[in-house]
Amino acid sequence: MDVPMWIDGEPVETGEWIARENPARPREFAGRAVAGTAQDVERALSAARRAFPAWGQRPLGERVEMVRVAFLDALAEPATIGTTIAAEVGKVRDDAIGEVRYVRQLCEYYAAEAPRLLGPIETEDERGRIRRMHRPFGVVAAITAWNAPVILASLKAIPALMAGNAVVLKPSPLAPLAVTGLLCAVAARLPAGVLQVVHGDAEVGEALVSSSHVDKISFTGGVVAAGHIARSAAARLVPTLFELGGNDAALVLPDASLDEAMVERILFGAYLNSGQVCMAVKRVFVPEQQAEDFVERMRTVAARTLRVGDPQDPASTLGPVITRKDQRRLERLIASAEEAGGVVHRLGTDHIVDEDGYWVHPTLVTGLPDAHSLVCEEQFGPVLPVQTYTTVDEAIERINAVPHALGSSVWSADEEAAVALAPRLRAGFTFINSHNRSGMSLRAPFGGVGISGNGKEFGPEGLASYSYLHVAHTPHERAGGANAYPVLPDDG
Ligand code: NAD
């Protein structure tokens, strides 16, 4: 599959090509994308600037309906799009199809909520009338990661467009195919310049975020790229939304049942998409006395459910990792854990199709100090440390001792107690008796703090991120003169 860029209402099919190999069969190509240049980015941004006024002034209901119809039409064949995602990312096909179906639901959710959330709100009391109006920023530069290419791009494009912005999106060069197919189909149904797609690596990304045409930056990816973008945005005081990496802890409390269904949710919370999910479980904390039993239960459930193999095979539940570089990085991480005295348990079964693929066997590691990089850094692979604790206070202190603060989870028979404990965890989200895909909701705003980012995607806040509030105030009491503060009789 070859994909173009989409600039100013038409496909751009000439230029260098970015080839994307299939991580399960690296000698085969999943497809190619036309590589962009700084000039392409500038052309797209100028077109966005021209398109914005008319798009932003369209009646809200009309705009929302245009975006809804365009996305739903373009998402009409989840199986075809899912097959492409599986080929370029290596995630198993059913999971990839689920990603596409989820975007359909996201689109319906935002279309239903947008009129209420983005429409004007008027309040009036004896002091005056206040009208709150949501105004689009203008041109949004969106840059996304590869691990859930369609959902990550849609989480930005759908709300930003519905709010009235023009969007220029750069997907990751590691997964440009499915998302570009989708966005070109959407863009073709919208006025020229309203939605555009450019391709390239960091250099093209930097050209995009540093342009004076950009009014808002929305970024999903790693902390290093976010640092570059933040510096560029700061120079022009452009507002940013950052969705970055995590080192999510699952805190298993002493009263957690650890039945098979719960253990399976922890297992897939960690290993789904071979651990390459921002909100994956990346550390598990279990009470010391239950640790042996916990590891045994994880091994038993994994033997039944974790099957590493061809992502296109319906029997596979895990595919390869994204690049050779990541495969080598994870192998070194596991080797260093063994050298540091960690005990490495291999989980599940292998059904590898091509020895050359970027396979990393799912691995659970016990006996590591918290300071080991496998525990204190984001692994972003199928490698999970199990840490033991003696008191809950001690576990919370150790969980909070890492710089990442994205998600977290609490596992307990007492869900009220688990919710009450959640704010003690330094994170932007806490799943209760679930984690990762099993605990997701379109209605629950997700995002981190600190080096894990700012702001939220999903939920009402995910829509609100793409507009600013413009307020019109009609005071009933209009004071004049030098002492102009209005004072009402009951103000004392
Ligand atoms: P990355 O930062 O390497 O790349 C992300 C995007 O940024 C790509 O499109 C890349 O080309 C671009 N980019 C890289 N350097 C840039 C620069 N200097 N200027 C502008 N653009 C630049 O991240 P990745 O490897 O694609 O993704 C993995 C990371 O993303 C993990 O840390 C993961 O946890 C995180 N992630 C977070 C969320 C979330 O919602 N919080 C979701 C998915 C992934």
pLDDT single digits (tens) 209-234: 999 999 999 999 999 999 999 999 99
- 43 sits in which H/E element: helix 38-57
Q: Which atom of ligand 1 is nearest to the CA of 172?
A: 9
What mean pLDDT is predicted for residues 86-108?
98
pLDDT reading at 491 higher than 90: no
Looking at residue 282, its pLDDT comes to 98
- What's the 254 CA to ligand 1 centre distance in angstroms? 36
Query: 480 or 203: whose pLDDT is higher?
Result: 203
45 lines ligand 1 (CB under 6 A): no
Alpha carbon nearest to ligand 1 atom 28, residue:
221
Structure confidence at residue 480 (pLDDT): 77
Pocket flag, ligand 1, residue 202 (CB < 6 Å): yes
CA of 225 to the centre of ligand 1 (A): 7
Span from the CA of 226 to the centroid of ligand 1 (angstroms): 8
How crowded is residue 86: how many other Cβ atoms within 10 Å of its Cβ? 27
Let me know if 278 is a catalytic residue: yes
Q: Which atom of ligand 1 is nearest to the CA of 223?
A: 2
In which band, very low, low, confident or very high, does the pLDDT at 481 lie, cut at 50, 70 and 90?
A: confident
191-195 mean pLDDT: 98
CA angle, 380 then 382 then 383, to 5°: 90
Atom of ligand 1 nearest to the CA of 245: 34
Angstrom distance (rounded) from CA 220 to CA 143 = 6
- 36-78 pLDDT per residue, tens: 999 999 999 999 999 999 999 999 999 999 999 999 999 999 9
| Ligand 1: nearest atom to the Cα of 243 | 41
- pLDDT digit string, tens, across residues 255-297: 999 999 999 999 999 999 999 999 999 999 999 999 999 999 9
Answer whether residue 492 shows pLDDT above 80. Answer: no
Q: Is the CB of 377 inside a 6 Å radius of any atom of ligand 1?
A: no
pLDDT band at 440 (very low <50, low <70, confident <90, very high): very high
Residue-level pLDDT at 482: 78
pLDDT at residue 219, as a whole number? 98
Tell which one of 154, 155, 244 to mutate to probe ligand 1, the residue whose CB is within 8 A of the most ligand atoms.
244
What type of residue is 129? Answer: R
Contacts of 368 (CB under 8 A, 6+ apart): 337, 340, 341, 342, 374, 375, 385, 387
Hey, whose CA ends up nearest to atom 42 of ligand 1? 278
Q: 8-19: per-residue pLDDT in tens?
A: 999 999 889 999
Atom 3, ligand 1: residue with shortest CA distance? 222
> Ligand 1, from 20, 106, 231, 278: best to mutate by most atoms within 8 Å of Cβ?
278
Answer yes or no: is the C-beta of 164 below 6 A from any ligand 1 atom: no
Residue 300 CA to ligand 1 centre (angstroms): 34
Percent of the chain with pLDDT over 70: 99
Contact 208, 17 (CB under 8 A): no
> How confident is the model at residue 364, as a pLDDT?
98
pLDDT in tens, 411-439: 999 999 999 999 999 999 999 999 999 99
243 flagged as catalytic:
yes
pLDDT tens-digit series, residues 144-188:
999 999 999 999 999 999 999 999 999 999 999 999 999 999 999
**Could you tell me if 137 and 467 are in contact, meaning their C-beta atoms sit under 8 angstroms apart?**
yes
147 lines ligand 1 (CB under 6 A): yes
Residue 15, classified by CB atoms within 10 Å of its CB into exposed (0-12), middle (13-18) or buried (19+), is middle
Q: Which residues of 140-171 are buried (b: 16+ CB within 10 A; e: fewer)?
A: bbbbbbbbbbbbbbbbbbbbbbbbbbbbbbbb
Q: What is the mean pLDDT of the chain?
A: 96
Q: Kindly state if the Cβ of 429 falls inside 6 Å of ligand 1.
A: no
User: Which pLDDT score is estimated for 488?
Assistant: 63
**Could you say which of 206, 243, 378, 457 is catalytic?**
243
Per-residue pLDDT of 103-155, as tens digits, reads: 999 999 999 999 999 999 999 999 899 999 999 999 999 999 999 999 999 99
